[in-house]
């Protein structure tokens, strides 16, 4: 057979060296609390913050950007930046480059199965993926608590739970945290964990960059949290400029936090894009790449190309506050439009960073539970690439009423309407796959179907928003708020939870409780819609976003929405209970392929070995050949060569334990 | 319609000819009945009440635009819902005698379906973009801010300019054709084309006259122009719809459209009663340079009692 002929070239496959994070010689190999882990990272962050803050005060003592505010922006920025640096040094992210710099040979990482590896800087993409799962969920639930606070305040149009300053800080913090979380919500956990296995690779292209992306992402989480003790920031997640320039305190946390998160996004996107392009197993041609990998590739293109704009824009903002430049200060020759355009030039591709991975997830879930091949695979892949390209040409639809050149408006109306064509392909794919299927309503499938319901409403209302005349009424109101919650939460977050219920059995080796999963789904689905659908009407009736007072006659709708939001929020408690119960308290081992999927990621052993595959698989076909007599298996795993039991890692290459690095 | 129709129909010949129910026609029938009932119901019952009403030309046109979009969007939504509901009921695995799905090339791609889908969605989307552009241009910018150099200007012979000045956290209005007096009351004449010149003294606000269907961002040092023609008398709400800081939520007031003669007498009288204060204001200009040295812009003199009986404040020239 030709398979064995392809196996001949296996040794030449460029990946025999184990990835390692590169500890200091004789240090990380030492077990226990003396090595580097989350604890030392926290110590490093605190030390770095104190040093940076002190240094800032030394450099510019008594400097108040905002008169009499008592806030020294230079000390703030210095504290946050050095705190993030201390966090990275503490976790050991800089060991490898520093050791190389002084000519030392970094120690290879120990192959360990200890639970402590989840608290360390590790080059194993599966560990990083699970670290991201916890990180993203923590991020999501923190932002969710703030949403509960917002809905509590909006219970009454006139009597207040929070003062206006506290309220606007909560709103801004909620929006910023959710947007930061959503950038990495799928790419981080599922992208890092799944992509190498789906394409038959043993690791990602740059394992240390992959670990770096997580630890700087978590540093961003801590930095944006510091906005609250600094007194918050009043700008919302958009950070529009004269208000940004006017604000102090928490504003620096926003700017530095977005810069850190942006660095993490670029790192994660770059690493996964290179992995997908270069690390596909033999036979994994572009027409066999799973649709989830396509969606991650399109997302990675956006992450690497759009995010630098955000980081640069944030840097300008930091300079305005600390070095008294005037990038965004109108009266000194800058322009507030500069921020608006830079921000949305990043911000609109960002919206698709949050949509595409969700499409990829449902594209993987649907064939498994319909027992049918994915319909119109090539259209789906083309659609994702098309969305990624077009998303760079629509950003000014956020500025329709802002006083941009008026002839830009028909142009951006057109491009915005056009992007709904490739976005709509996901419906063609979904509906074609459902046709004459045999649908099993497992929990992941429920979430996947819910995405179609939610995203339809989110997508159609997006067409309303793109129409400039209608935009006059709906821009800046609850209508647009509801629209993007329908796309981001109804799309991405539903897909994320579908993906977690779908892949967690493989990722953790434990079965999630089905009953609790169903309760979680129905609570989340029903009360998500009951929370956000009334907001379309609230918006049409004239309630602007981010207000703490509204018209008396809108109280009934707002209260309805608030109560639904509380139940929606509590649905996540069901998930947390399920997660804790099924993974930690009473774990039930999951079979290697519980859903009977044909995907490559399900064919390897469970728990997935350190190198993912005993032998590099040779991919024979795409993973969607359901309902087909005599279809070949997705890949030749080469198990007959190493023995069916897949014992110790044998064979592949022997010289790999030398400490030299592959990169 | 349109989106779902081709999918099953094109599959039809491939299936077994006799026993198989005609899925496409069933779905099509459900869909056409639902659309035929709900679309007119919406258009004739709900449509006339859709915000922002018909108080001005831009409001009426934007209401019509919303309704047309909705009448097109509703069948699209219904098509997907009918298809989803039908598949969930008909093709669930728990059904007795559920047939095994057939894979293979026919289930993977179908050129006719894909072409039809792309054609139909493209036609809808291009029509909507064209229609939106037509509404935008023939309606003189549809009440949205056109920036300092508007290109779609009303042809009316008499246009009343009103300057809207956003500031933390209120809107004030100046009437240049009445000596540039400044007031916190937005009074407009009926049956008149109005040009709103929206600017700001500090941060970005957004002037949203809800019932008038006017929305224009108030940017410092930018004159953002929006047009409309008033049609009906009555009160309307003005809200700030761009986050502008602490009291953004409380930044609203009410305006009124009154008969022309009443407006004229109000304006002339206000011009007279506020003449002393107008002299203290900066001379009327399309934009004002905020005071860069103070956080609040420094337009108003803080030493004057804001609750003075005349309700107009003293002011000083911008410092920069």
Q: Tens of pLDDT along A34-66?
A: 678 898 999 999 999 999 999 998 988 877 766
Structure tokens at A502: 């779908």
**Which residues are CB-contacts of A496 (< 8 A; sequence separation ≥ 6)?**
A136, A185, A186, A189, A190, A358, A361
User: Which residues of chain B neighbour A470 with C-beta distances below 8 Å?
Assistant: 62, 65-66, 69, 132
Say yes or no: B88 contacts chain A, CB-CB below 8 A.
yes
* pLDDT tops 60 at residue A507: yes
The stretch B49-61 carries a mean pLDDT of 92
Contact B73 A464 (CB under 8 A): yes
Contact B248 A168 (CB under 8 A): yes
Task: Name the pLDDT band for B306 (thresholds 50, 70, 90).
Answer: very low
Q: Which of A589, A578, A579, A604 is nearest to A510 (CA)?
A: A589
Q: What is the pLDDT of residue A11?
A: 40
Task: Quote the CA–CA distance of A492 and A121 in Å, as a whole number.
Answer: 28
User: Which residues of chain A neighbour B13 with C-beta distances below 8 Å?
Assistant: none
For residue A292, being part of any structural domain is answered with yes
Q: What is the pLDDT of residue A631?
A: 85
User: Which residues of chain B neighbour A173 with C-beta distances below 8 Å?
Assistant: none
In chain A, which residue's Cα lies nearest the Cα of B198?
A403
Note whether A388 and A298 are within 8 A (CB): yes
DSSP H helices, A279-330, are: 291-322
Q: State the nearest Cα–Cα gap between B111 and chain A, in angstroms.
A: 9
- Smallest Cβ–Cβ distance between B65 and the set A330, A421, A467 belongs to A467
- Smallest Cβ–Cβ distance between A403 and the set B132, B224, B292 belongs to B224
Q: What is the CATH number of the domain that holds A362?
A: 1.20.210.10
Q: Which of A299, A293, A301, A308 is nearest to A346 (CA)?
A: A308
Instruction: Give the count of Cβ contacts less than 8 A between chain A and B.
Output: 306
User: Which residues of chain B neighbour A627 with C-beta distances below 8 Å?
Assistant: 100-104, 107
Contact B66 A473 (CB under 8 A): yes
Pick the range with the lowest mean pLDDT from A165-174, A641-650, B195-204, B247-256: A641-650
Q: Convert A401-431 to b/e letters by CB count within 10 Å (16 or more is b).
A: bbbbebeebbbbbbbbbbbbbbbbbbbbbbb
B195 phi and psi, to 5 degrees? Answer: -110, 115
Say yes or no: B19 contacts chain A, CB-CB below 8 A.
no
Residue found by looking up tokens 């913050």 in the block? A49
Task: Name the pLDDT band for A24 (thresholds 50, 70, 90).
Answer: low
Residue A88, CA distances (Å) to A16, A253, A618 in order: 28, 17, 38
* pLDDT tops 70 at residue A639: no
Residues 298-357 of A with CB under 8 A from B: 329-332, 336-337
B8 phi and psi, to 5 degrees? Answer: -70, -35
Q: State the nearest Cα–Cα gap between A608 and chain B, in angstroms.
A: 29
- Smallest Cβ–Cβ distance between A375 and the set B108, B133, B198 belongs to B108
Q: What is the pLDDT of residue A115?
A: 80
**Which residues are CB-contacts of B155 (< 8 A; sequence separation ≥ 6)?**
none
The stretch A477-497 carries a mean pLDDT of 95
User: Which residues of chain B neighbour A406 with C-beta distances below 8 Å?
Assistant: 141, 146-147, 149-152
Pick the range with the lowest mean pLDDT from B70-74, B210-214, B299-303: B299-303
Structure tokens at B220: 């410092």
* pLDDT tops 70 at residue A159: yes
Q: State the nearest Cα–Cα gap between B304 and chain A, in angstroms.
A: 22
Task: Name the pLDDT band for B290 (thresholds 50, 70, 90).
Answer: low
Q: CA dihedral defined by B199, B203, B204, B208, rounded to 10 degrees?
A: -70
Task: Name the pLDDT band for A212 (thresholds 50, 70, 90).
Answer: very high
* pLDDT tops 90 at residue B282: no
| Sheet-wide strand order for B170-175 | B181-183, B170-175, B159-167, B193-200, B224-229
Structure-model confidence comparison of residues B189 and A247, the more confident one: B189
Q: Convert A261-273 to b/e letters by CB count within 10 Å (16 or more is b).
A: bbbbbbbbbbbbb
User: Which residues of chain B neighbour A236 with C-beta distances below 8 Å?
Assistant: 243
- Smallest Cβ–Cβ distance between B91 and the set A414, A427, A439 belongs to A439
User: Which residues of chain B neighbour A631 with C-beta distances below 8 Å?
Assistant: 103
The stretch B233-255 carries a mean pLDDT of 92
Q: What is the pLDDT of residue A111?
A: 63
Residues 249-308 of B with CB under 8 A from A: 249-250, 289-290, 292, 294-295
* pLDDT tops 50 at residue A520: yes
Q: Compute how many other C-beta atoms are within 10 angstroms of the C-beta atom of residue A332.
A: 14
Q: Is A148 exposed, middle or buried (0-12, 13-18, 19+ CB in 10 A)?
A: middle
Q: What is the pLDDT of residue A17?
A: 55
- Smallest Cβ–Cβ distance between A475 and the set B114, B133, B215 belongs to B215
User: How far out from the chain centre does Cα A409 lie?
Assistant: 31
Q: State the nearest Cα–Cα gap between B219 and chain A, in angstroms.
A: 8
Question: Domain spans of chain B?
Answer: 6-93+107-138, 159-280
β-pairing, B193-200 vs B159-167, is parallel
Task: Name the pLDDT band for A92 (thresholds 50, 70, 90).
Answer: confident
Residues 112-151 of B with CB under 8 A from A: 113-114, 117-118, 121-122, 125-126, 128-129, 132-133, 135-137, 139, 141-151
A107 phi and psi, to 5 degrees? Answer: -75, 140
Structure tokens at A378: 């090539």
Q: State the nearest Cα–Cα gap between A409 and chain B, in angstroms.
A: 8
A592: three-class secondary structure by DSSP = coil
Q: What is the pLDDT of residue B267?
A: 93
The stretch A648-657 carries a mean pLDDT of 36
pLDDT digits (tens, 9 = 90+) for B91-118: 998 888 788 888 888 889 999 999 999 9
Note whether A280 and A200 are within 8 A (CB): yes
In chain A, which residue's Cα lies nearest the Cα of B224?
A403
Note whether A438 and A485 are within 8 A (CB): no
The stretch B157-172 carries a mean pLDDT of 92
For residue A572, being part of any structural domain is answered with yes
For residue A138, being part of any structural domain is answered with yes
Q: What is the pLDDT of residue A562?
A: 96
Q: Convert A217-247 to b/e letters by CB count within 10 Å (16 or more is b).
A: bbbbbbbbebbbebbbbbbbbbbbbbbbbbb
**Stretch (H or E) spanning B240:** strand B234-240
Q: What is the pLDDT of residue B193?
A: 94
Q: What is the pLDDT of residue A20?
A: 65
Q: Which CATH number fits domain B159-280: 2.60.40.420, 3.10.20.30, 3.40.50.2300, 1.10.260.40?
A: 2.60.40.420
Task: Quote the CA–CA distance of B155 and B285 in Å, as a whole number.
Answer: 24
Task: Quote the CA–CA distance of A457 and A469 in Å, as a whole number.
Answer: 20
Q: State the nearest Cα–Cα gap between B274 and chain A, in angstroms.
A: 30
Q: What is the pLDDT of residue A658?
A: 35
Residues 456-475 of A with CB under 8 A from B: 456-457, 460, 463-464, 466-473, 475
Say yes or no: A241 contacts chain B, CB-CB below 8 A.
yes
In chain B, which residue's Cα lies nearest the Cα of A542?
B210
Residue A571, CA distances (Å) to A190, A516, A527 in order: 22, 10, 9
Q: What is the pLDDT of residue A660?
A: 36
The stretch A164-181 carries a mean pLDDT of 94
Q: Which of A105, A81, A87 is nearest to A37 (CA)?
A: A87
Task: Name the pLDDT band for B10 (thresholds 50, 70, 90).
Answer: very low
The stretch B174-202 carries a mean pLDDT of 92
Q: To probe the interface with B, which of A394, A403, A471, A478 has the most B CB atoms within 10 Å?
A: A403
User: Residue A571's domain spans which residues?
Assistant: 123-585
Q: What is the pLDDT of residue A359?
A: 95
**Stretch (H or E) spanning B237:** strand B234-240
DSSP string spanning B155-197?
A: --S-EEEEEEEEETTEEEEEEGGGTTEEES-EEEETT-EEEEE
Contact A234 B245 (CB under 8 A): yes
Note whether B137 and B143 are within 8 A (CB): no
Say yes or no: A166 contacts chain B, CB-CB below 8 A.
no
Say yes or no: A366 contacts chain B, CB-CB below 8 A.
no
pLDDT digits (tens, 9 = 90+) for A214-261: 999 999 999 999 999 988 999 999 999 889 988 878 899 999 999 999
Contact B203 A240 (CB under 8 A): yes
β-pairing, B214-218 vs B205-209, is antiparallel
Task: Quote the CA–CA distance of B215 and B146 in Å, as a whole number.
Answer: 10
Instruction: Find out whether the peptide bond into A371 is cis, omega within 30 degrees of 0.
Output: no
Q: What is the pLDDT of residue A432?
A: 93
Q: What is the pLDDT of residue A109?
A: 65
Q: Is A355 exposed, middle or buried (0-12, 13-18, 19+ CB in 10 A)?
A: buried
Q: To probe the interface with A, which of B53, B115, B132, B153 has the most A CB atoms within 10 Å?
A: B132
Task: Quote the CA–CA distance of A297 and A8 in Å, as a whole number.
Answer: 29
Task: Quote the CA–CA distance of B125 and A417 in Å, as a whole number.
Answer: 6
- Smallest Cβ–Cβ distance between B61 and the set A331, A469, A477 belongs to A469
**Which residues are CB-contacts of A441 (< 8 A; sequence separation ≥ 6)?**
A369, B92, B93, B94
User: Which residues of chain A neighbour B67 with C-beta distances below 8 Å?
Assistant: none
The stretch B244-253 carries a mean pLDDT of 90
Residues 205-224 of B with CB under 8 A from A: 206, 208, 210, 213-217, 219-222, 224
Task: Name the pLDDT band for A332 (thresholds 50, 70, 90).
Answer: confident
For residue A309, being part of any structural domain is answered with yes
- Smallest Cβ–Cβ distance between B117 and the set A428, A469, A549 belongs to A428
User: Which residues of chain B neighbour A410 with C-beta distances below 8 Å?
Assistant: 129, 132-133, 136-137
Say yes or no: A594 contacts chain B, CB-CB below 8 A.
no
Q: Which of B217, B215, B252, B216 is nearest to B237 (CA)?
A: B252
Flag whether the ipTM exceeds 0.90. no
B213: three-class secondary structure by DSSP = coil
Q: What is the pLDDT of residue B136?
A: 92
Mean predicted lDDT score pLDDT of chain A = 88
Residue found by looking up tokens 């977005």 in the block? A258
Q: What is the pLDDT of residue A389?
A: 93
Instruction: Find out whether the peptide bond into A607 is cis, omega within 30 degrees of 0.
Output: yes
The DSSP bridge partners found for residue B170 are B167
Q: Which of A357, A242, A211 is nearest to A292 (CA)?
A: A357
Note whether A234 and A247 are within 8 A (CB): yes
Task: Name the pLDDT band for A597 (thresholds 50, 70, 90).
Answer: very high
B258: three-class secondary structure by DSSP = strand
The stretch A305-311 carries a mean pLDDT of 94
Note whether A320 and A327 are within 8 A (CB): yes
For residue A56, being part of any structural domain is answered with no
The DSSP bridge partners found for residue B234 are B257
Pick the range with the lowest mean pLDDT from A366-370, A409-413, A630-634, B300-304: B300-304
Contact A246 B118 (CB under 8 A): no
Contact B219 A337 (CB under 8 A): yes
Q: What is the pLDDT of residue A420?
A: 92
Note whether A427 and B87 are within 8 A (CB): no
**What is the DSSP-derived secondary structure letter of residue A23?**
B
Residue B190, CA distances (Å) to B187, B257, B258 in order: 10, 6, 6
**How many domains, in total, are found in chain A?**
1
Say yes or no: B247 contacts chain A, CB-CB below 8 A.
yes
Task: Name the pLDDT band for A97 (thresholds 50, 70, 90).
Answer: confident
Structure tokens at B295: 């956080």
Percent of chain A past pLDDT 90, that is, above it, reads: 70
Task: Quote the CA–CA distance of A316 and A650 in Å, as a whole number.
Answer: 53
Instruction: Give CB contacts under 8 A, 24+ apart, made by A243-247.
Output: A243/B203, A243/B204, A243/B243, A243/B244, A243/B245, A244/A317, A244/A328, A244/A339, A245/A317, A245/A320, A245/A321, A245/A328, A245/A329, A246/A66, A246/B202, A246/B203, A246/B245, A246/B295, A247/A66, A247/B245
């Amino acid at each position: 057979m030709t398979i064995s002929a392809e196996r001949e070239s296996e040794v030449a496959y460029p990946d025999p060296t184990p990835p390692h994070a590169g500890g200091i010689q004789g240090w990380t190999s030492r077990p226990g609390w003396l090595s580097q882990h989350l604890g030392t990272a926290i110590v490093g962050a605190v030390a770095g913050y104190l040093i940076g803050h002190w240094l800032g005060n030394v450099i510019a003592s008594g400097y108040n950007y905002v008169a009499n505010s008592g806030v020294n922006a230079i000390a703030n920025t210095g504290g946050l930046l050095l705190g993030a640096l201390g966090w990275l040094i503490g976790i050991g992210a800089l060991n490898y480059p520093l050791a190389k710099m002084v000519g030392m040979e970094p120690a290879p990482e120990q192959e360990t199965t200890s639970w402590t590896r989840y608290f360390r800087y590790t080059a194993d993409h599966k560990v990083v993926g699970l670290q991201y799962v916890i990180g993203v969920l923590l991020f999501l639930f923190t932002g969710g608590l703030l949403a509960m606070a917002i809905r509590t305040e909006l219970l009454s149009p006139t009597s207040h739970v929070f003062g206006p300053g506290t309220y606007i800080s909560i709103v801004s913090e909620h929006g910023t945290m959710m947007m930061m979380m959503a950038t990495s919500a799928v790419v981080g956990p599922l992208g890092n964990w799944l992509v190498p296995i789906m394409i038959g690779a043993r690791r990602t292209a740059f394992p240390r960059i992959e670990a770096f992306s997580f630890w700087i992402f978590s540093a961003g989480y801590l930095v944006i949290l510091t906005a609250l003790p600094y007194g918050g920031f009043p700008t919302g997640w958009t950070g529009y400029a004269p208000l940004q320039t006017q604000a102090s305190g928490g504003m620096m946390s926003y700017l530095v936090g977005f810069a850190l998160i942006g660095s993490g996004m670029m790192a994660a996107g770059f690493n996964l894009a290179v992995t997908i392009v270069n690390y596909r197993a033999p036979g994994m041609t572009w027409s066999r790449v799973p649709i989830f990998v396509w969606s991650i590739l399109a997302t990675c293109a956006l992450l690497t190309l759009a995010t630098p704009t955000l980081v640069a824009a944030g840097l300008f903002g930091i300079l305005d506050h600390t070095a008294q430049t005037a990038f965004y200060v109108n009266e000194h020759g800058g322009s507030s439009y500069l921020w608006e355009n830079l921000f949305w030039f990043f911000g609109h591709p960002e919206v698709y960073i949050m949509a595409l991975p969700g499409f990829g997830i449902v594209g993987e879930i649907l064939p498994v539970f319909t027992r049918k091949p994915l319909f119109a695979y090539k259209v789906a892949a083309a659609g994702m690439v098309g969305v990624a390209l077009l998303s760079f040409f629509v950003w000014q639809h956020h500025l329709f009423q802002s006083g941009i050149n008026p002839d830009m408006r028909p142009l951006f109306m057109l491009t915005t309407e056009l992007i709904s064509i490739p976005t709509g392909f996901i419906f063609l794919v979904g509906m074609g796959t459902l046709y004459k299927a045999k649908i099993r309503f497992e929990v992941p499938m429920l979430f996947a179907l819910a995405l179609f319901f939610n995203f339809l409403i989110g997508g159609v209302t997006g067409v309303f928003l793109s129409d400039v005349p209608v935009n006059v009424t709906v821009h800046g109101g609850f209508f647009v708020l509801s629209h993007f919650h329908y796309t981001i939460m109804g799309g991405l977050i539903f897909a994320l939870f579908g993906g977690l219920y779908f892949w967690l059995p493989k990722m953790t080796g434990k079965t999630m409780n089905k009953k609790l999963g169903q309760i979680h789904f129905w609570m989340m689905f029903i009360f998500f819609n009951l929370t956000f659908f009334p907001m379309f009407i609230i918006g049409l009736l004239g309630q602007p976003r981010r207000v703490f007072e509204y018209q008396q006659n809108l109280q009934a709708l707002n209260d309805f929405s608030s109560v639904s939001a509380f139940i929606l929020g509590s649905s996540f408690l069901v998930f947390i209970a399920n997660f804790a119960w099924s993974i930690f308290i009473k774990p039930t081992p999951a079979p290697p392929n519980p859903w009977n999927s044909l995907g490559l990621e399900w064919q390897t052993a469970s728990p997935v070995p350190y190198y993912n595959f005993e032998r590099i698989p040779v991919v024979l076909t795409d993973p969607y050949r359901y309902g087909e007599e005599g279809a070949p298996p997705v890949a030749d795993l080469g198990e007959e060569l190493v023995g069916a039991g897949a014992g110790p890692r044998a064979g592949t290459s022997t010289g790999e334990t030398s400490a030299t690095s592959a990169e | 319609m349109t989106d779902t129709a081709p999918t099953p129909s094109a599959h039809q010949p491939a299936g077994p000819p006799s026993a198989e129910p005609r899925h496409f026609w069933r779905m099509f029938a459900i869909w056409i009945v639902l659309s035929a009932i709900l679309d007119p119901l919406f258009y004739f019952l709900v449509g006339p009440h859709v915000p922002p009403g018909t108080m001005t030309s831009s409001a009426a046109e934007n209401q019509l635009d919303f309704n047309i979009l909705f009448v097109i969007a509703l069948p699209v939504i219904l098509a997907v819902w009918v298809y989803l509901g039908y598949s969930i009921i008909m093709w669930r695995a728990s059904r007795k005698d559920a047939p095994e799905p057939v894979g293979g090339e026919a289930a993977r791609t179908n050129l006719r379906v894909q072409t039809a889908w792309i054609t139909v969605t493209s036609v809808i989307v291009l029509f909507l973009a064209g229609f939106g552009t037509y509404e935008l241009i023939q309606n003189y910018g549809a009440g949205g801010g056109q920036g300092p150099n508007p290109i779609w200007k009303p042809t009316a012979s008499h246009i009343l300019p009103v300057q809207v000045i956003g500031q933390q956290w209120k809107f004030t209005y100046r009437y240049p054709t009445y000596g540039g007096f400044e007031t916190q009351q937005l009074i407009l004449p009926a049956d008149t084309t109005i040009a709103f010149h929206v600017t700001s003294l500090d941060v970005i606000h957004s002037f949203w006259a809800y019932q008038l269907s006017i929305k224009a961002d108030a940017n410092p040092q930018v004159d953002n122009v929006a047009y409309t023609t008033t049609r009906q008398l009555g009160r309307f709400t003005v809200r700030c719809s761009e986050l502008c800081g602490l009291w953004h939520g409380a930044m609203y007031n009410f305006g009124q459209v009154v008969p022309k003669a009443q407006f004229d007498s109000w304006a002339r009288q206000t011009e007279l009663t506020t003449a002393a204060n107008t002299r203290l204001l900066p001379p009327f200009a399309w934009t004002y340079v905020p005071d860069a040295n103070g956080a609040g812009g420094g337009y108003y003199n803080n030493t004057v009692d804001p609750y003075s009986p005349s309700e107009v404040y003293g002011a000083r020239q911008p410092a920069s």
